[in-house]
Amino acid sequence: MTDTAVQAAHTADAAPVAHRRLRFNILRYNPQDTGSVPRMQTYELEEADGMTLFIALNEIKEKQDPSLQYDFVCRAGICGSCGMLINGRPTLACRTLTKNLDAEITLAPLPFFELIGDLSVDTGKWMRGMSERLEGWLHAKGPEPDLRRLEERMDPAVADQVYELDRCIECGCCVAGCGTARMREDFVGAVGLNRVARFKIDPRDRRSDEDYYEVIGDDDGVFGCMSMLACHDVCPKNLPLATQIAFMRRKMVAIGWKK
């Protein structure tokens, strides 16, 4: 496009355009308030260019209803706080553009996690429990290294692979989208299996496959997964969850037949 053409296009954009009137049906419920019962509440709002649900919800809270509860922290898709059901699908509200949705939008809190109120759920509590259960931290080899000496070398490609799995933001969308987790609340979820896979490929971690079997070698772990793969399909970070779960399953089954 030539400079003038672009300019023309944008000046045209600047002219007032008729915006849609959006209707938000939001699940309201405050479990802290004994008088509160779950109900749907509707808010109307005029759409704006480039409006995300972050912008829309803030406008509703600032202008219409200061009691509306929801969580945003980074609002840039990196902290994982704003997972919610948008028209039934778990995803990050901060990076959901209203223009990609119908004018009627239904918002509900992520299921599975403890509800704090309205759209706000306590994913942190569950994630902590999951991490404690799976021992989701690096188990270093040997004694503490002398930090004044050069760091242990690592293959650049392996470092990149580890990072690829470390990109998980623990938003909880995978667990909320998981049919297994919905039926069996002790299931560790894709987030947990991905976590284990991350340490498994990290050469700095001393744990063996037998050790990982101890934490995910049962029906609450990798064998509970029924491969519906909604986790993979809803993951806002596009993590390779399907292949990672398959990878862990192969490794863990190998342990099962080793003896």
Partner 1 sequence: MRELAAWGVPWSRIQQGDREVIINSQKVTITERAEAQGLVAQRDFGGTKKWRTCYVSDGTGHAMLQTVSDQAIGASIPVHERTEAIALIHDGSRCYGAIVRNLITGELVAYVAKATAIATGGAGRIYRVTTNAVICEGIGTAIALETGVATLGNMEAVQFHPTGIFPAGILVTEGCRGDGGLLRDVDGHRFMPDYEPEKKELASRDVVSRRMEEHIGKGKGVQSRFGEHLWLDITLLGERHIKHNLREVYEICQHFMGVDPVKDWIPVRPAQHYTMGGVRTDHTGESATLKGLFAAGEAACWDMHGFNRLGGNSVAETVVAGMIVGEFIADYCDRPENEVDVPMGLVHGFLRTEQAKIDALINGRGSESGDAIRQRMQEIMTSKVGIFRRGEDLASAVEELQQLLVKSRNIGLRYKVRGANPELVTAYRVQKMLKLALCVAYGAHTRTESRGAHFRQDFPRRNDAEWLKRTLATWKGDDTLPTLAYEPLDIGRMELPPGWRGYGAKDYIDHPDTPKRAAEVEALKQQLAGQSRFAVQEALLPYAAKLPKSLQGRNERIDEMFTNEAAK
Partner 2 sequence: MNTSTEVIAGVGLADQARKSLWPARLDWLQSASGLLLALFMWGHMFFVSSILISKDAMWTITKMFEGYFFFGTAHPWIVSVVVACVIVLFVGHAFLALRKFPINYTQYKLFRGHQKLLRHGDTTLWFWQVFTGFALFFLASVHLYLMLTRPHLIGPYESADRVWTENMWPLYILLLLAVEMHGGIGLYRLAVKWGWFAGSDANASRKNLKTLKWAITVFFLVLGFATLAAYIKIGIEHAPNYGQHYVPTWLQNAPGAVK
Nearest to 212 by CA among 180, 166, 256: 256
**Which of 94-102, 181-189, 239-247, 250-258 is the region at the interface with partner 1 (rule: CB under 8 A)?**
94-102
Residues 100-139 that bind partner 1 (CB under 8 A): 100, 116-117, 120, 122, 124-125, 128, 131-132, 135-138
Long-range Cβ contact pairs of 140-143 (< 8 A, separation 24 or more) = 140/204, 140/205, 140/206, 141/204, 141/205, 141/206, 142/206
Token pair of 3, please? 């400079």
Classify the phi-psi angles of 142: left when phi > 0, otherwise alpha if psi is within -120 to 50, otherwise beta: left
**Is 1 an interacting residue with respect to partner 1 (CB under 8 A)?**
yes
Distances (CA, A) of 214 to 49, 115, 178, 210, 234: 51, 31, 23, 7, 28
- Least gap, CB of 73 to partner 2 (angstroms): 25
Interstrand relation of 83-86 and 104-109 (parallel, antiparallel or unpaired): antiparallel
Using CB under 8 A, pick the residue from 17, 18, 146, 258 that binds partner 1. Answer: 146
| Number of residues engaging partner 2 in binding (CB under 8 A) | 45
Distances (CA, A) of 53 to 84, 95, 111, 166, 178: 11, 7, 19, 26, 23
**Which of 89-97, 186-194, 217-225, 247-255 is the region at the interface with partner 1 (rule: CB under 8 A)?**
89-97
**Is 72 an interacting residue with respect to partner 2 (CB under 8 A)?**
no
Is 71 in a helix, a strand, or coil?
Answer: coil
**Is 138 an interacting residue with respect to partner 2 (CB under 8 A)?**
no
**Is 204 an interacting residue with respect to partner 2 (CB under 8 A)?**
no
Per-residue x/- mask for partner 1, residues 202 to 231, rule CB under 8 A?
x-xx--------------------------
Nearest residue (CB) to partner 2, 169 versus 241: 241
Residues 53-72 that bind partner 1 (CB under 8 A): 54-55, 61-62, 66-69, 72
- Least gap, CB of 179 to partner 1 (angstroms): 27
> What is the rounded CA–CA span in Å between residue 125 and residue 139?
22
Token pair of 100, please? 């990609």
- Rg (the chain; Cα; Å): 22
Token pair of 140, please? 């270093």
**Is 206 an interacting residue with respect to partner 2 (CB under 8 A)?**
yes
**Is 104 an interacting residue with respect to partner 2 (CB under 8 A)?**
no
* Residues at the site binding partner 2, with contacts judged by CB under 8 A: 85, 88-90, 111, 135, 139, 177, 179, 182-184, 206-208, 210-211, 213-214, 217-219, 221, 223, 225-230, 233-234, 240, 242-243, 246-247, 249-250, 252-253, 255-257, 259
